[in-house]
Amino acid sequence: MEIEDHYALLLGISSPWEISSVNLNMPGNRVDIEIDYADGSGICPECGTVCPKHDDRERRTWRHLDTMQFSTYLHAQLPRVKCKKHGVKTASAPWATKNSRFTLLFESFAIQVIQASRSIEEARKLLRLNWHQVEAIKRRAVERGLARRDSTAIEYLGIDEKQFRSGHQYITNLVDLKQGRVLDVVEERKEEACNTLFLQALTPDQREQVTAVALDMWKAYANAVEGLLPQAVIVHDRFHISQHLNQAVDQVRRAENKQLASEGDNRLKGTKHFWLYNAENVKASHHDQFDRLKGSNLKVARAWALKEHFRPFWDYRSKGWAKRYFERWYSWAIRCRLEPVKKVARMLKTHIEGLLNYFDHRISNAAAEGLNSKIQTVKSNARGYRSFEGFRTSILFYCGKLKMQP
């Protein structure tokens, strides 16, 4: 078997394409394969009709998977055909997709390498590509994946804001909670942004079919859900609620620590994390100290007790009992004389319906916890992204569960 035939088999190249030469460059560690088009007619890429050949495009190069340790490149002039209906069009090459400088095999291999690598830098080195080439492969992969998404009903959604870069730039993230995948992200966290997200990520049928959405007590998101997802029930997310309570405890601690320190009392110094963990997660070596503080008449101890006593709320099986439990907790909280805690208590009361919906649907953004840490990794690897678009591509590439192979 001639080496040309060998490569033709390897590349799946058949008539009217043929390999005219294979040049092995030993010192350069590369193989260059020339491919010719041997036919007077070709297929219109728009309609599939066989048309007469018009001329040839300039010679182009595609990178293929390495042969042993040799970088392997294909070179060809793509023919242009003259279609009666579509005019002069460039015929497509069977080994590559339009506008790609890589063969299909190389591109699908690269997608797997990029997904498996811990960083773009690592993937880039393994594949011997530059940063822009990796980004282009990811972008095409995500485009293919999004185009292949079907319109199967999605029962439960989660909407969440995330900080994008430092400072106050936010993105809004839409998650399919059951499948643990990101559907899409948009810039900002306003109502319009959330509307855009629903319109962009869901088909009209899917918008009709959403059963419930987990979200923070955030008016902009709730408005968007009410406006665009007519069947969806709002479930206020327990993960965010515990964050609000934690923040209230922390505010109480900071104010009290300042007050005490000014009187020379340093009991609260360095205790920030005790109050934020769930009780069972405080380190054993700190138990004694924490027990003493908890049992004291400090304000932060009272705030902390209120936070801890909110937790059993989520364990109720019946909505009615949960509601009664809440009422009792609320009447305690509202009389606690700690403004940050009272503020959260009032907010919870205003949103009680959404809290109680949890007992019908039991969804939360924390359910997508594995996903959240994955997004976090993408974010921390995203220092190089100047644009939001690059960041969005990465989130969808790693967290979208898309079918991205060419």
**Is the Cβ of residue 52 or residue 230 nearer to Zn ion in the bound state?**
52
User: By CB under 5 A, is residue 83 in contact with Zn ion?
Assistant: yes
Q: How far is the CB of 45 from Zn ion (least distance, A)?
A: 8
Alpha-carbon distance 317 to 320, whole Å? Answer: 9
Give the 3-state DSSP-derived string for 141-194, with helices as H, strands as E and coil as C: HHHHHHHHCCCCCCCEEEEEEEECCCCCCEEEEEEECCCCEEEEEEECCCHHHH
Cα 19 to chain centroid distance, Å, stands at 43
- Bridge partner residues of 80 (DSSP): 55, 90
Alpha-carbon distance 160 to 363, whole Å? Answer: 13
- Token pair of 177 as six digits: 């909670």
Mention every residue, 6+ apart, whose C-beta is less than 8 A from residue 118.
Answer: none
Alpha-carbon distance 113 to 362, whole Å? Answer: 37
Alpha-carbon distance 318 to 225, whole Å? Answer: 25
Q: How far is the CB of 78 from Zn ion (least distance, A)?
A: 16
Alpha-carbon distance 184 to 289, whole Å? Answer: 46
User: By CB under 5 A, is residue 389 in contact with Zn ion?
Assistant: no
Q: Do the Cβ atoms of 290 and 300 come closer than 8 Å?
A: no
**Is the Cβ of residue 98 or residue 118 nearer to Zn ion in the bound state?**
98
- Token pair of 316 as six digits: 């109720």
User: By CB under 5 A, is residue 319 in contact with Zn ion?
Assistant: no
**Is the Cβ of residue 47 or residue 279 nearer to Zn ion in the bound state?**
47
Within 10 angstroms of residue 119's Cβ, the number of other Cβ atoms is 12
- Token pair of 323 as six digits: 């509601």
- The values of phi and psi at residue 125, to 5°, are -70, -45
Q: How far is the CB of 92 from Zn ion (least distance, A)?
A: 12
**Is the Cβ of residue 85 or residue 148 nearer to Zn ion in the bound state?**
85
User: By CB under 5 A, is residue 50 in contact with Zn ion?
Assistant: no
**Is the Cβ of residue 44 or residue 276 nearer to Zn ion in the bound state?**
44
Scanning 43-51, 160-168, 348-356, 361-369 for contacts with Zn ion by CB under 5 A, the matching segment is 43-51
Q: How far is the CB of 79 from Zn ion (least distance, A)?
A: 14
Q: Which of residues 193-252 bind Zn ion (CB under 5 A)?
A: none
User: By CB under 5 A, is residue 82 in contact with Zn ion?
Assistant: no
Helix (H, G, I), strand (E, B) or coil at 101: coil
Alpha-carbon distance 220 to 226, whole Å? Answer: 10
Alpha-carbon distance 201 to 233, whole Å? Answer: 19
Q: Do the Cβ atoms of 235 and 212 come closer than 8 Å?
A: yes
User: By CB under 5 A, is residue 116 in contact with Zn ion?
Assistant: no
Q: How far is the CB of 106 from Zn ion (least distance, A)?
A: 29
User: By CB under 5 A, is residue 87 in contact with Zn ion?
Assistant: no
User: By CB under 5 A, is residue 88 in contact with Zn ion?
Assistant: no
Beta strands 70-83 and 30-37, pairing class: parallel
Scanning 76-84, 135-143, 225-233, 361-369 for contacts with Zn ion by CB under 5 A, the matching segment is 76-84
The residue from 24, 38, 47, 334 that contacts Zn ion (CB under 5 A) is 47
The residue from 86, 181, 286, 342 that contacts Zn ion (CB under 5 A) is 86
Scanning 20-28, 37-45, 209-217, 224-232 for contacts with Zn ion by CB under 5 A, the matching segment is 37-45
The residue from 44, 74, 213, 341 that contacts Zn ion (CB under 5 A) is 44
Q: How many residues bind Zn ion (CB under 5 A)?
A: 6
User: By CB under 5 A, is residue 46 in contact with Zn ion?
Assistant: yes
Scanning 44-52, 191-199, 310-318, 346-354 for contacts with Zn ion by CB under 5 A, the matching segment is 44-52
Q: How far is the CB of 40 from Zn ion (least distance, A)?
A: 17
Alpha-carbon distance 336 to 342, whole Å? Answer: 7
User: By CB under 5 A, is residue 81 in contact with Zn ion?
Assistant: no
Alpha-carbon distance 167 to 182, whole Å? Answer: 23
**Is the Cβ of residue 84 or residue 403 nearer to Zn ion in the bound state?**
84
Scanning 40-48, 109-117, 194-202, 309-317 for contacts with Zn ion by CB under 5 A, the matching segment is 40-48
**What b-and-e string marks burial along 13-52, b requiring 16 or more CB atoms within 10 Å of the CB?**
beeebbbeebeeeeeeebbbbbbebeeeebbbeeeeeebe
Scanning 60-68, 86-94, 135-143, 226-234 for contacts with Zn ion by CB under 5 A, the matching segment is 86-94
Scanning 77-85, 116-124, 303-311, 336-344 for contacts with Zn ion by CB under 5 A, the matching segment is 77-85
Applying CB under 5 A, the residues found at the interface with Zn ion are 44, 46-47, 83, 85-86
